[in-house]
Chains A and B, each alone.
Chain A
Amino acid sequence: MMTMDMNQPPQDVIRLEKISVRYRLPGEQIHTFKEYVIRLVQKQIQFKDFQALKEVNLQIRKGEIFGIIGNNGAGKSTLLKVISRVLVPTQGRVWIKGKVSPLLELGAGFHPELTGRENVFLNGTILGHSHREIEEHMHEIIEFSELGSFIDASLRTYSSGMYARLGFAVATTWEPDILILDEVLSVGDEAFQRKCQMRMKGFRNGNATSILVSHSMEAVRSLCERAAWLDHGTIRAVGPADEVIAKYRQAQAGA
Chain B
Amino acid sequence: MSQNRRSFLRTGLAAAGFAAASRALSPLVKVKPAWGGGGMATRRVVVVGIGGGLRLRESLGMAEGATMPNLFGASPLVSGFGSGPAGAPRIAPEYAAMARPLILPTPRATPLHTLGTLVTNLRYADGPAGHLQGHGCLLSGAYNMIENRADAKLTTPTIFEIHRKGANAPATDAWYLSNPGGFYRALLTSGHPLYGPRYAPTYLQPPGVMSPLVPIVASGKRTLDVGTQALPTIPRDAAQDAAVARLTAVVDANTPSWDRDDLFPHAAVDEAGQVQDHLAGFFADSSYQSYFPDNFGIGMRAEDNSLDSTPDALTVFHAERVLDTFQPALLAMTLLDVDTCHQDFNGYLRAQQIADAAVNHLWNFIQNHPSLRDETTLIVMPEHGRHLFFNGQNPDSLGRSGIDHGQGDDGDRNTWVLMLGPDIRANQVIAPTSITQTGRTSGRYETIDAIMTGMTLLGHGQRLGDDLTAASKRPGLVVQEVLA
Q: Do A and B come from one complex?
A: no
- The interface of chain A, by Cβ under 8 A from chain B, is none
